[in-house]
Structure formats: C-alpha cells, structure tokens
Structure 1
Amino acid sequence: MNLLAHAYLSFRQPELLVGNMISDFVKGRKRFDFPDGIQKGIALHRAIDSFTDEHLVNIEAKRIFKPAVGLYGAAFLDVAYDHFLAADNLAFPAGSLPDFTQWVYKTIGGYQHHFPESFAGMYPYMREQDWLSNYQFRWGIEKSMQGLVRRARYLEDAKPAFDAFEANIEQLQNAYHRFFPELLLFVTNYYRNHLISSPGMPS
C-alpha cells in the first residue's frame, strides 16, 4: 500500500504512524536503531506490504499496469488504491480527509529527529504540497505516478501508467473494494496480536 493507506492503518498511534511512514527508508537492521514504538510501526508496514503483495486480487490487478511499467506494477497499483481510499466514505466521512492528513503531518513532524535522511528530504514537500489529500484527485494520482517514475530505474514516462489507470479505473476500484476490507481485518488482527491495545483500535 501507499502513503495514505499506511497512515490510515496506523490507528492514530503516533510512534506506530512514524514507523509505518518511514519504513521504506529503513534498511535491514537499521530498524533496531529506533524506539520500540517506531520499530513496531516499521514491522507493521512490512506486514501490510507482504499481505498486499501476496493477495490474489492484487496479483491480478497489478497486471493492468504491467504493459506500461513492467515489474513496477505493484507500486503503481498501491498509488491507485490510495485514490480509492481517499474517496472511501467509510474510511473518511465527508470532509474528514484534510483534517486527518494535517494531523499526520503535524504528528510525524514531531519526530523529525528520527527521520532517515531520504525521508527527511521528502517530508517538507509532502507536507507543503499536501500529497495525502491530493490522492483524492486524478491529477494528484498522476503527479504521484510521475514521482514513481523519477525514482524508478528503467522508467521514463508516467503517461502510459496513468492512461492504464484511467482506462481501467472501474476494474481497479472493484479490486480495491474486494481487497481493502480484508486488509483492514488483517491489520486489526495484527494490531491485537502484536501491538499494545489502544482505544484507537478499530472494533
């Protein structure tokens, strides 16, 4: 899953949120350099990614992007799913997404001394340009895909991937609605089994 999903699936627990957001920038045993709560967030992020990558719905859905981006299909599917999450009224009732994203920026901003260097360089742009809220817009998804292309090897143009997104948006949305409730159940059970109980945990 992409940034918005990882933020949402942190259940408003600050250190869990930080770990979940920085995990892709923490390699190997470096995760043990962080406080326990952030380590748990890093582990949660990796559990989410493993569940997502292995799910049959996503194995099929990422093929939509394969002609455009080859082996990067899963990363582009993650961005597409953030679009559908941002528009999901069960996750974000009308008008609540901007409040949530501002809470995320403010919360993780209090832990900047724990940011890996690469995430520290990205964070000001994410906050100032409000990447998390912009996933609700198709232009926001296009910009996010352009960012993936800039960071990826062997890719030069995001347009084929965005065209695939637009041409198959109904199929991708159906995949999201089949997959995300199962992901939420998985993460809820993971939370209960591996993390400290909290009033913020979904029932």
Structure 2
Amino acid sequence: MNYLAHLHLSHDTPGLMIGALLGDVVKGPLKGEYPADWEQGIRLHRRIDAYTDNHALIRACQADFPKKFRRFSPIMLDVAFDHFLIKHWQQFHPQTLATFSTEMYQFLSNTHWPAAAQPHVKRIVKHDLLNRYQEWDFIIEVIASIGLRMRVTNPLADTDEILAQHYQQIERTFLQFYPQLQQHVNGMQ
C-alpha cells in the first residue's frame, strides 16, 4: 500500500496518520523516540505492509509478472493500488476524495514533522499525490522515480507496458484484497 491507502486505513486518527507516513522513513526497532500514538501508527504501517506482502492474492498477482519484474512487483503494486483505491473510492469511503485529500493536506501541512519526514511530506502536498494517483501515466512516473532513487539496478523505468498488460488483473486483485485488508486492520484496533 502507498500513501493514500495508509492514510485511509488510519481512520482519521492523527497519531496513526502521522505514523502511516513515518513508516516509510523510520527504520529499525521503535524505542520510544516518538510519541506513543505515532509509534502505534508506524507499527500499523509495518503490519499493513507485512500483511500485504504475504497475502496469497498478492503473491499470485506477482507470480504473473515477467521474472525480471517479480522482485520489484511489491513496489509496483503498492503504487498501482492507490490508483485503484481512487478509482473505487466511493466503495471504500463516505467522503469524496476531494474532501478527504483537502483535509489530509491541511493536516499534513499543519503537523510538525521530524526532519527526516519533512521532504517526504512536502512532496506529497506539493505534487498533490493523493489526487494525482488517479492518472495512470502519473503512476508510471512515480514507479520510475522510485527506481531512480534505489541503489540497486532495477527495471522500474520500464514498467509501463507490463502494468498495462496486467491492469485488469491488478484491479481485480485490489478489489478482492482491499476489503480483506480493511477487515484485518479493523481487527487490530
């Protein structure tokens, strides 16, 4: 799952929402360096990622990718799933996406973030990522951008054709998986 899904699964709980985004920048064991509710959000982020990465539906979808993409398919799916969350937003949230994203941007802009997270959060707001994921071409750009930041050689700049071929399969996987993920997250609280 990517930014939108992690924020959505935080159920409008400020500490969980902060932790949802810190989960991408805070690594290693949590040692009480952050407020308890932030660390709870970081742990939730990690549990969501672990549940997603190990789910049979996700593994089956990844297995259909060409071999050179399989290792990187979790990244591809995480970003693509935010696209499908937007596409089917009304099925999963009572607010419009515009209202939700406006509220999230206000929250993100008015929260004092640790230095390591500030560029990350500014990028989300500046580039309107919570709304832009509805643009499939933007999804491809984001995945390629992630590939450029990685230290290991990867094929993420070449995902356009592969993701286009698997678009319907990824969408079906998302629609089956996301309600299960929501139920899993609700069971943790």
Amino acid paired to 1:189 = G
- Give the 3-state SS of the residue equivalent to 1:33 in structure 2: coil
What is the distance in 2 between the residues matched to 1:116 and 1:43? 20
Q: Is the 8 A contact 1:86 1:92 kept in 2?
A: no
What is the distance in 2 between the residues matched to 1:8 and 1:91? 9
Judging changes above 3 Å, is the alpha-carbon distance between structure 1 residues 103 and 68 closer, same or farther for their aligned structure 2 residues?
Answer: farther
Q: Establish whether residue 143 from structure 1 lines up as the match of residue 144 from structure 2.
A: no
Structure 1 gap segments, 5+ residues each: 192-203
Structure 1 residue 3, shift from structure 2 partner: 1.0
Equivalent of 1:169, from 167, 170, 180?
Answer: 167
Alignment map for 1:77-156 (pairs within 5 Å): 77-88=77-88, 89-92=90-93, 96-112=96-112, 114-117=113-116, 119-152=117-150, 153-155=152-154
Identity %: 27
Structure 1 residue 103, shift from structure 2 partner: 1.4
1:67 is matched with: 67
The TM-score with structure 2 as length reference comes to 0.90
Q: Is the 8 A contact 2:30 2:39 kept in 1?
A: no
Aligned CA-pair RMSD:
1.9
Judging changes above 3 Å, is the alpha-carbon distance between structure 1 residues 46 and 37 closer, same or farther for their aligned structure 2 residues?
Answer: same
1:54 is matched with: 54
- Give the 3-state SS of the residue equivalent to 1:32 in structure 2: coil
Runs of 4+ in 1 over 4 A off after TM superposition: none
Q: Is the 8 A contact 1:65 1:164 kept in 2?
A: yes
Q: Is the 8 A contact 2:62 2:70 kept in 1?
A: no
Structure 2 gap segments, 5+ residues each: none
Amino acid paired to 1:73 = S
What is the distance in 2 between the residues matched to 1:178 and 1:139? 24
Judging changes above 3 Å, is the alpha-carbon distance between structure 1 residues 103 and 39 closer, same or farther for their aligned structure 2 residues?
Answer: same
1:7 is matched with: 7
What is the distance in 1 between the residues matched to 2:102 and 2:109? 10
What is the distance in 2 between the residues matched to 1:31 and 1:156? 36
What is the distance in 2 between the residues matched to 1:45 and 1:143? 24
Amino acid paired to 1:115 = P
The TM-score with structure 1 as length reference comes to 0.84
Q: Is the 8 A contact 1:149 1:157 kept in 2?
A: yes
What is the distance in 1 between the residues matched to 2:82 and 2:41? 19
- Give the 3-state SS of the residue equivalent to 2:11 in structure 1: coil
1:2-41 C-alpha deviation (Å, 9 max, x unpaired): 1111010000111110001111210123552110111110
Equivalent pairs, count: 187
Q: Establish whether residue 187 from structure 1 lines up as the match of residue 185 from structure 2.
A: yes
Structure 1 residue 70, shift from structure 2 partner: 4.0
Q: Is the 8 A contact 2:20 2:45 kept in 1?
A: yes
